[in-house]
Amino acid sequence: MDVIGIGETMVSLTPDKYGLIRQTSSFEPRVAGTETNTLIGLSRLGHNTGFISRLGEDELGAMVLKELRGENVDTKLIDLDPYHQTGLFLKEIINESDVHVYYYRQHSAASQMTRELLDESYISSASYLFITGITPAISESCKQTIFTAINMAKNNGVKIVFDPNIRKKLWSESEARQTLIEILKLSDIILPGISEGQFLLDSNDPEEIGKKCVDLGAELVVVKLGENGAYYCTSDHGDYVPSFPVKQVRDPVGAGDAFAAGLLSGLIDELSIEKAVERACITGGYATTYVGDYEGFPDKSRLERLTNLSTSEDVSR
């Protein structure tokens, strides 16, 4: 296994047109979740991935399982819960730069995850454990599950990849800050955005965010800068990588997950850090040209074409 993730996957109801939800006549159900978006992105690029979670034993859960299996994500450690429902959220796209998400996930099946769900031999089979700051915010038992998984990974030489992905609506700011900084200290690779750097580290400067994360113990920090690309650093080197240019952004949701998939794919393929970040910028940028959380994530052949395009003079800037 290359990458294993832990978290909650839900069903997203995506409107048929731009505008307020009240103006929408129909929605299309889609599977969505930060961890599984990233795992699907990795799977499309030829890597072996697995997911640990809990779903409701309902039609939405069946939809999630069908989609994950269709994308070649291993689901053997997804537990089905007959007493709690699969989470749901609605997406509202006013325009490409004004997107709102409304969650209906309280008491969901995933929020009932406990440490007993984990299998240390399964986690130890991976090179990377991918986690986000969303899962520990869902419930106290989910928080305990995440820290137990981190310990299992560390005991077996599995690198921890952490995307803070802060959701302030799910918990108090003080608890969020304390918990996520604790996870930062245990992580090998950290993928913050500027707003997360400001919240956790009191800085909106990419270089300072990177240095502070390295000082906490990270081997690699990649700060996501959106249309400005990314800044990466290790203990002895740092540099900026430009974004991948796109003609039109249709849906920015999922871009950060595509970015994470591209970065880990590059590291698994043993690219240099700079080239891995370049791949991340390509996958993250390209994902915004499709409506949906992961629908625009490229496969290996498309990634190759996009990589060649990003270095040609034909790119529309």
Report the alpha-carbon distance of residue 257 to residue 251 in Å, rounded: 13
What one-letter code names the amino acid at 231? Y
Clarify whether 239 is annotated catalytic: no
228 token code pair:
């400005």
246 token code pair:
């796109």
DSSP letters along 178-229, please?
HHHHHHHHH-SEE--BHHHHHHHHS---HHHHHHHHHHTT-SEEEEE-GGG-
Q: Which of 79, 257, 269, 314 is catalytic?
A: 257
In contact, 14 and 38? CB cutoff 8 Å: no
| Inter-CA distances, 92 with 10, 18, 232, 296, 297, Å | 16, 8, 32, 18, 21
72 token code pair:
């070649």
Active site amino acids? 257
